[in-house]
Structure 1
Amino acid sequence: MERFAWPKFLSSKRKRAIQDLLPAQNPKKKLANLFDAHSQTSNDTGQHPFAEHLVVNILESFSNTLSLSSSDQSNEVVQVPSNACVRKTSNIGTRLDQNLIDGGHRRRSSDQKSVLNSMLPNNFPSDTSVIINRLLEDSESIRSKQSLMEAAAAISEDRTDVAWEILTRLSVSRNPKGIYSEQKLMEYMLSALKSRMSPVDNPPPVAELFTEDHLLSAQSLYDLSPCFELGFMAANRAILEAASEQPSTNKLHVIDFDIDIGLEGGYLDLLYALSTRQADNQSTLKITTLADSFNGEERLRMVGDRLSEHAARMGVRLVFNVVSQKLSELSRDSLGCEADEVLAVKLAFKLYRMLDESVSVENPRDELLWRVKGLAPQVVTLVEQEMNGNTAPFKVRVEEALAYYGALLASIQPEFWRAESERARVEEGLSRRLRNSVACEGRDRVERCEVFGKWRARMEMAGFELKPLGQYGVESMKKMVGWCPGHTVKEENGGVCFGWRDRTLTVASSWR
């Protein structure tokens, strides 16, 4: 094994411990191979060449080594009073605890970085320190997530003292130099778990999810994230395919149950496609949407006016109707359906916010699907987020939220910097969503996402049959996402999945 110089601050005991912890593994060679792989793939941001288990094991070995051998160098840092680690009731004691935690974290990080540096060849690139910092940040992020899951387990088992201890430790030991999206994720989840434990002192968001600010944050998210934008496009493509199956009519009627998620409602590409397909007869697009306590008639008509302007420029005749009805009153007549038009129903990010049988005996989620089935549409499009956050146990919900929102924040991070105000708006909206999903129960939990398998079962129970999107449509969206490094498109179980790296974020599907 090639020899190298140990850092000067390491005692002989630490050196022996490191050697014992990594027997016959030649860590220098393995790290060098990893860094070589990084240098060969550094231009591909979608690649993550590091073997995570190896990195974590090595760094954990360093942490254990430093802990085991700290006794022989206790005088190097500070002489700690014998009672310094007990729970403090004064502000002075709290500051002492925090200083000890922060100082210990800095010392461990410095020691780990020095050991890693010592294992690299002398001719290694000068940017190696950047790679090492990233390794340490990844390791710190993994440990933080593990601690959050431990806190979630303690909460679910009603061990409040343990949970508060973990959350307090995480609050004072957060690393401000970590990856931006990971910082935000930790911040959101810490706030969510504190709201879960103490909703009076840390009120979780409920009414805030129905405000103008939250609506604007959703619009910005859908504009920034290809996963949401492509979900709307997949729904529109399914509607166009249904219309093309009836060439005898140029009338298309779309019933949209939540059009106000964006000012244009995701209809611009549909209008453009209709304008290119019409020959001698002008195409007619009729959109019917339902007013409710939040999306009133005046607000929806403003959306219709904007869409009418776009339709006029594209040469498409647009009829925009707003109706005010209870769910039990929905019918073809009340919605103005005509026999000579292709009828489509659009359910985009609507069902997950409706209560189901686990909360309400009325089960409005299933009732809406039964009412839609009664309209006999040629196609129903469903677009939803892919997260097991409805009836899953609390610990699973926390784990799902960490994975889902972590991927979502990472996926839109490159776009965050184009506008500070837009970035802040999106972040606030995502924070509200995560906190509501984790901290609330019953009717207060508005965020009730499901995975596609559950949506599929619910749609089939309502009498719908899956209608896979054509291969041409899937391939065209794969080409479009090629302009967005790290984003993915795949067809799975009849749905079109849009994601970030190995995590699916949204799924679009078509039904009849």
Structure 2
Amino acid sequence: MVERHVGRNMVDLRTLLTLCAQAVAADDRRSANELIKQIRQHSSPMGDGMRRIAHYFIDGLEARLAGSGTQIYTALITKPTSAADVLKAHHLFLAACPFKKLSNFFSNKTIMNLAEDAARLHIIDFGILYGFQWPCLIRRLSSRPGGPPKLRITGIDLPQPGFRPAERVEETGRRLANYAETFKVPFEFHAIAQKWDTIQIEDLGIDRDEVLVVNCMYRLRNLLDETVIVESPRIKVLNLIRKMNPDVFILGIVNGAYSAPFFITRFREALFHFSTLFDMLETNVPREIPERMLIEREIFGWEAMNVIACEGAERIERPETYKQWQMRNTRAGLRQLPLNKEIMKIAKERVDTGYHKDFVIDEDNRWLLQGWKGRIVYALSTWVPAP
């Protein structure tokens, strides 16, 4: 009996959210407010996966209705979460699902294979954030036969609001420098905190004697596309990457279709996408763990708020599917490399032996796909400039 009731609740919340989105889109305030009230009674950041997602989605709808999406979203992203808290959430995410671990493995193994006997290695990381990916690579390089190469990392991220726009990237650089020192890897860090489409090739200090790697994990989705600006930042950044002529460009994308200009379509796709992630956490992580709430609030909650409540240049969550990226990259003069068989094999083994059976690892058109219960959430690939 209970089971049926829960099932009905789930269907109801999903339907109610969609109805509410339609009311908000039509500016039917009375219906929207009624539905918001109803959904609020059934949603909670501490409930099951569906109640949690309803909690964040209804925040977004309410902000959109009030026309205050941008202010709320800006307030959210400027409120500082300590790096320590983010690291805790990051560790939980690493333990709960293979997605981040596999991306790091995919990227680091690609770099290790390429830089096997390089004397100097330069990594340009778009969207470095806290640089959690690199300690593992630094450790690997330190035990390379014949000693480590001279490692340079150029960490690029968006400027933070306030007086010290580059503070977070510089802080990341200091942490990595300390780490490199511990492992005796010669290290240099260069921080760039500015809009990515304003970066010039001269800013990157490229030296042709170095093995050059461009890395971008899941952050190209934050660049505006042609629906906002004809000369889109996406095209500019891909052109810049081609011009750098890297030995490899490693790309990880969020496989989402929720950047449609039409709000209802976008809302439905976002509900689909985030339900997958919340369901994955619900299945793999106990409800009461604070780090789970941190991930849901600080990562997925923010993203959902941005997708639902913001428009135009303010809406920076604009993922595309891996097939769209494939076309986009090819048009920008990049050529996709075949997937490395060994990387694919290890990835499959790790997921089959260490994780829940509903995690999906697959391959399509030279992309390594990662998903949950048949929905592809992330995709990874490697590229070089086309001749």
Normalised by the length of structure 1, the TM-score is 0.66
Counterpart of 1:194 in structure 2 is 62
Any idea what SS the aligned residue of 2:73 has?
coil
Counterpart of 2:74 in structure 1 is 206
Which amino acid in structure 2 is aligned with residue 502 of structure 1?
G
Deviation at 1:511, TM superposition (A): 0.9
Counterpart of 1:349 in structure 2 is 218
Task: Spell out the pairing of 1:260-299 with structure 2 (5 A cutoff).
Answer: 260=129, 262=130, 264-276=131-143, 278-290=144-156, 292-294=158-160, 296-299=165-168
Q: Distance in 2 between matches of 1:279 and 1:373?
A: 31
Unaligned runs of 5+ in 1: 1-112, 114-132
Which amino acid in structure 2 is aligned with residue 506 of structure 1?
Y
Any idea what SS the aligned residue of 1:373 has?
helix
Q: Distance in 2 between matches of 1:177 and 1:254?
A: 39
1:44-83 deviations in Å (ceiling 9; x for gaps): xxxxxxxxxxxxxxxxxxxxxxxxxxxxxxxxxxxxxxxx
Match of 2:349 among 471, 476, 479: 479
* Contact 2:216-2:250 within 8 A present in 1 as well: yes
Which amino acid in structure 2 is aligned with residue 168 of structure 1?
K
For the pair shown, which has the larger CA radius of gyration, 1 or 2? 1
Deviation at 1:169, TM superposition (A): 3.1
Match of 1:448 among 312, 315, 318: 318
Seen in structure 2, the aligned counterparts of structure 1 residues 175 and 401 have a Cα distance that, compared at 3 Å, is closer
Seen in structure 2, the aligned counterparts of structure 1 residues 281 and 198 have a Cα distance that, compared at 3 Å, is closer
Any idea what SS the aligned residue of 1:447 has?
coil
Seen in structure 2, the aligned counterparts of structure 1 residues 217 and 361 have a Cα distance that, compared at 3 Å, is farther
Counterpart of 1:489 in structure 2 is 361
Unaligned runs of 5+ in 2: none
Q: Distance in 2 between matches of 1:203 and 1:297?
A: 22
Any idea what SS the aligned residue of 1:190 has?
helix
Q: Are 1:165 and 2:34 matched, yes or no? A: yes
Q: Distance in 2 between matches of 1:289 and 1:414?
A: 35
Q: Are 1:321 and 2:190 matched, yes or no? A: yes
Q: Distance in 2 between matches of 1:214 and 1:203?
A: 22
Q: Distance in 1 between matches of 2:339 and 2:57?
A: 36
Q: Are 1:464 and 2:334 matched, yes or no? A: yes
Q: Distance in 2 between matches of 1:216 and 1:388?
A: 32
The farther-off stretch of 492-501 and 176-185 is 176-185
Counterpart of 1:439 in structure 2 is 309
* Contact 1:217-1:428 within 8 A present in 2 as well: no
Counterpart of 1:499 in structure 2 is 371
Taking every aligned residue pair, what percent have the same amino acid on both sides? 25
Seen in structure 2, the aligned counterparts of structure 1 residues 217 and 203 have a Cα distance that, compared at 3 Å, is farther
Q: Are 1:233 and 2:105 matched, yes or no? A: yes
Seen in structure 2, the aligned counterparts of structure 1 residues 364 and 207 have a Cα distance that, compared at 3 Å, is farther
Q: Distance in 2 between matches of 1:386 and 1:238?
A: 21
Which amino acid in structure 1 is aligned with residue 48 of structure 2?
Y
* Contact 1:390-1:449 within 8 A present in 2 as well: yes
Counterpart of 1:181 in structure 2 is 49
* Contact 2:159-2:194 within 8 A present in 1 as well: no
Any idea what SS the aligned residue of 1:205 has?
helix
Seen in structure 2, the aligned counterparts of structure 1 residues 243 and 362 have a Cα distance that, compared at 3 Å, is same
Counterpart of 1:395 in structure 2 is 264
Which amino acid in structure 2 is aligned with residue 143 of structure 1?
D
Counterpart of 2:181 in structure 1 is 312
Seen in structure 2, the aligned counterparts of structure 1 residues 135 and 235 have a Cα distance that, compared at 3 Å, is farther
* Contact 1:251-1:340 within 8 A present in 2 as well: yes
Any idea what SS the aligned residue of 1:208 has?
helix
Cα RMSD for the two superposed structures: 3.0
* Contact 1:474-1:496 within 8 A present in 2 as well: yes
Seen in structure 2, the aligned counterparts of structure 1 residues 389 and 222 have a Cα distance that, compared at 3 Å, is farther
1:374-402 deviations in Å (ceiling 9; x for gaps): 11111111112121122352122211222
* Contact 2:148-2:185 within 8 A present in 1 as well: yes
Q: Distance in 2 between matches of 1:218 and 1:498?
A: 23
1:296-319 deviations in Å (ceiling 9; x for gaps): 444333322322333334343222
More relative contact order in 1 or in 2 (CA 8 Å, sep 6+)? 2
Deviation at 1:425, TM superposition (A): 2.2
Normalised by the length of structure 2, the TM-score is 0.85
Q: Are 1:508 and 2:380 matched, yes or no? A: yes
Q: Distance in 1 between matches of 2:194 and 2:48?
A: 45
Q: Distance in 1 between matches of 2:231 and 2:73?
A: 24
Counterpart of 2:232 in structure 1 is 363
